[in-house]
Chain A
Amino acid sequence: MNRQRLTWIVIGVVFAGLLVVRGMTGQGLGRVYVQHEDVAYAKVETKSAQGAPTVAWKRVAEGGVADVRWQEWSAVPPKAWFEAQAKDPRQSAITLSWPRTIGLWLAAFFTLAIFSFLWADNVFYKFAEATVVGVSAAYWMVIGFWDTLVPKLFAALVPAVVQAHVQPSLRPVDDVQWWSMALALVLGGMMLWRLAPRGGWIGAWPLAFIVGVTAGLKIVSHVESDLMAQGLATMESVVAVVPGADGATDVGASVWGTLANLLVVVGVLSALTYFLFSVEHKGLVGGTARVGVWYLMITFGAAFGFTVMGRIALLAARFEFLFDDWLWLIDPNHLRA
């Protein structure tokens, strides 16, 4: 047995032992409870704002006349179960949910499996990684079909068929011309032609269409919101006059505001100078470009700092999940006491 395998076995055994101990002490760990509720709805014929007949569903009270009924299961905090059990140990209103509990343990397993990569590449990490990739790919396919193809393409081409057989709640949009969607379908088909052994050039046409439309959209928005608006903001008066609470000028805030404005103007001009490659960077241009480099470095540092903050926040959220929802070591939301 090599050293790495032995390490994994030791870690696994120690961890399983700690889990067993945790499960046998205090309130235990990792359980999800649910409460069930009977839901009933009645169909009501009504009219839309435009006067067209439409159907609305109204919730009816328990025992009322309803067209559809079902049971809803909602998660409740464990303390609700503790209290219900203390009152009546045979109660069945709040019960342990096995599917949700298994889901919780699976989430904990996958979190630890991904963390295990920090030690070394291993079979648990590979399994978790493959699961994420598989589930994501399937999820995006389903989203693409049900949220794009069905409501936007098929609903425009064959609305009656879609409403009758696929999505009864579909509300066709009247002013979508069927031929414009047919054109989109043809372009989509041409795009798929790239996969054919011959005639790959056919796929270049829809690609050209996408590039053209995207470029047009982006150019307009960037010129409007970044070039013009940001340029205008930089050209505003450098001297800031900040009014205080009493209406008079707040000298301190005004000085700081003016300094901040100066920093912005110097930063914009020097960073732009750094990207001025048609002039040799020496003398005044070189000095200004050097200031620009400092600005860029500070910007990258700030971006790195914010990225670290984001990653630590995500790590903290996963640890909270492990300590709170799974291991019941902490209870910041008072769900158990």
Chain B
Amino acid sequence: MAEKRQSGLSRIRSRVKATIKSRFPGANMDYCLTCGLCASGCPATGIDGMDPRKFLRLLALGQDEEIMNTDWIYVCTMCQRCKYACPMDINIGRIVYEVRGLRPRDRRPRNLQKTCDFQKTSCSTGISDKDFVWVVNDVLEEVRQNEPEWADLEAPIDRKGAEYFLNQNAKDPTVSPEEMVLVWKILHEAGVSWTYSSKWWDGANYCLFTGDSEDFEATVRAQVETVNELGCKYYLNTECGHIYYAVREGIKRFNIPHRFEVISIVSLYAQLIRDGRLLVDPSWNSDGLKFTVQDPCKLIRQGGGDSLAEDLRFVIKSVAGEENFVDVWPNKSNNYCCGGGGGALQAGFKDQRRRFGRLKFDQLNATGADVVITPCYNCHSHIMDLGEFYGGKWRVTHLWDWIVKAMVRK
């Protein structure tokens, strides 16, 4: 047993709390009833001896040293499941974010900070804009040659006046360029007018997680201005969670002028299928492959909410067959975070991350599904890792794989 903790409080003073309050007065952190709802719903409860309620309590009691030293702030993915049901609407995720920002740079997880530093030059993996353009064109050329039925496939870059600007997570052009083709095919088949950009094209933004407001603002602003210049009506977010949140939240928080609407590609899929512009037929799945879904926190709970979650289910059911979808509980806006968000994959702390993900693993495993749809790069990576680590028998995929599989060409 550790020695009993003691604290002399002849004056209760928290510099950390005061700083957070000055930076974000709406956090409600003093409202805490210590009811423990957050702790009961948080997958990170107990990891490193911490939970959201204890974290707030340390702030309330002025225990700054402990707050500044705990690495739990990188185990917490700022998924906001706590805030979702907190009776006092305390923005715990934002408080964690601010504490991350108070850490000196040299004491932050190196890889997370490095990813943000890359981001500030346009892309999170560090590949150059020139390389991106080259990879896109190269892959396009290859498809046109090898697949005659796709000889007219397009992957436009910098096409002014296109209806949709599509972002592209840098992971694909860096390590798995063939993944990109699937989206191109879907958009092409549905006759969508779209374009990439040759700069600030990345569908990721890890400066959302380091806690430095300036970096976050600078990266969002650069991308917003790029899309403004292209004159697109929609900012189409690829199957990724955090960037959807980052762009929308950045625009709002920093009041960035923009001339487009941000929509998730999941909503667009649903709309194209509903409008009959994209024909899909689930009959390929005569063996009854079972599908379940991960609702990415930043896409659903902190993004489009239950209506976007419904779109997601509509698309899965359309391509895999209504009867082949098995839902999880809790789900939609109240889902469990997998543990890979909030920069956790970049920050390290692998053991904690896997402990965090145990709830998600158990929940997915209980569905008996063969396929887990993860319309988010971070969920995708981390749930794959959970599956390997804990012994899941399912495949983890994006949505586009199955849309292309079910797509009936006109």
Are A and B interaction partners? no
